[in-house]
Structure 1
Amino acid sequence: MDGEYAIKKAYESILKHDFEQAIRWFELAIALKPECASYHYKLSITYARSNKLQKAIHHAGRASALDPQDEHYVLHLQHLQAKGLLVEAEKLFEESDERLWLAVSLVQQAVELDPLSLEAFLLLAIAYARLDEMHLAIRALKELLKLDPAHAIGIRLLSEYELTWKQKMQRTSTSGVQKERKLKHESGEN
């Protein structure tokens, strides 16, 4: 048996929706030919589809290391690494507001790795809104909507955040005028 036979059997398993069996066949192919970047890449895709992100990242990294000239392998690895960062950030979102800036940092790294990630821009916007950084939340949503102009959640949040931002600016402006009047009054100016 050679690696190509194992790959063929892996694809047959995928067609039968037996992803665990496909993983075993891909692993066998790699055992037979460990330096084959495409085998690692294919296994990485199957692991990712099976929600085994760390294993997917490992094999994507192997594929990329074995053939760094193949742009598909590099982009796939970056996409998976970005997903990993988003998973970590989501955990921080759930923990407490004190950890939100760390979550924002992770999401920003995810955006750098995968600038087409709708989920990253959405999470970034939500995090900024929770931090009351509405202008940054709006900017993230606008980037999201450049990628997907029909993104329903993005459209709704943009409308909400712009209204919140406008109200905040009006309050700031009103309180500034009131402070100025108070200072003039206290200094004896009319």
Structure 2
Amino acid sequence: MNGENQIQKAYESILGHDFEKAIEWFEKAIAEEPNNAAYHHKLSITFARSNKLIKAVEHASKAIDLDPANEAFRFHLQVLNARELVEQARRQLTNPSAHPERAIFLLKEAIVLDPLAIEAYLILGEAFAMRKDYTRAYQTVMEAVRLEPHNELAKQHATIYKVKMETELGPKHR
């Protein structure tokens, strides 16, 4: 027996926006074919879409263990690892006693793993602003604007940091 029928049911569930049911079907397919790397990869994507990052990473790693040469699987895991770093940085910045340096380090690592992670740029801009380094905050969110020109949040943050930067630097730098 193989898991193709379960995979088909999982896709039908996704089309019906029932991601929990899709997860169940992917898990059934994996029960049928536990060494099928593609099934683990597909389940990982569904977990990631459902914001179940730990499970997503677990199955992405399993897919790579089963098919180490698959670049798509490696890239997916890299993006998941970047998301984990962004979440760690977010928690770091919400801690009232925390200093932004640790978050800045995590966010820079996330951007290395996923250079298109807009959220990482925005949070990194916030971390620089917490340090009152408005020039770097502005430069960072402008990179987000460059990547996503229609991202309103990035444009708003850029405007805020630009004003603060100009205020801090004085009129000669305007």
| TM-score, with structure 2 as normaliser | 0.90
User: How many residues are matched?
Assistant: 173
Task: State the alpha-carbon separation in 2 of the partners of residues 100 and 45 from structure 1.
Answer: 31
Q: Which moved more, 1:16-25 or 1:2-11?
A: 16-25
| TM-score, with structure 1 as normaliser | 0.83
CA-atom RMSD, angstroms? 2.0
Residue pairs, 1:101-180, within 5 angstroms = 101-170=101-170
* Structure 2 SS opposite 1:98: coil
Other-structure match for 1:185: none
Question: Does the aligned pair in 1 maintain the 2:85–2:109 contact within 8 Å?
Answer: yes
Runs of 4+ residues deviating >3 angstroms: none
Q: Using the TM superposition, give the Cα deviation of residue 53 of structure 1 relative to its aligned residue in structure 2, in angstroms.
A: 0.9
Point out which structure has higher relative CO (alpha carbons under 8 A, 6+ apart): 2
% of aligned pairs identical?
42
1:136-172: CA deviations, max 9, x gaps?
1122112111101222222222222122112212299
Task: State the alpha-carbon separation in 1 of the partners of residues 130 and 8 from structure 2.
Answer: 49
Change (3 A) 1:170 1:60: same
Residue segments in structure 1 that go unaligned for 5+ positions in a row: 174-190
Residue segments in structure 2 that go unaligned for 5+ positions in a row: none
The alignment status of 1:94 with 2:94, answered yes or no, reads: yes
* Structure 1 SS opposite 2:170: helix
Task: State the alpha-carbon separation in 2 of the partners of residues 131 and 34 from structure 1.
Answer: 49
Residue pairs, 1:1-190, within 5 angstroms = 1-96=1-96, 98-170=98-170
* Structure 1 SS opposite 2:8: helix
Task: State the alpha-carbon separation in 2 of the partners of residues 16 and 90 from structure 1.
Answer: 32
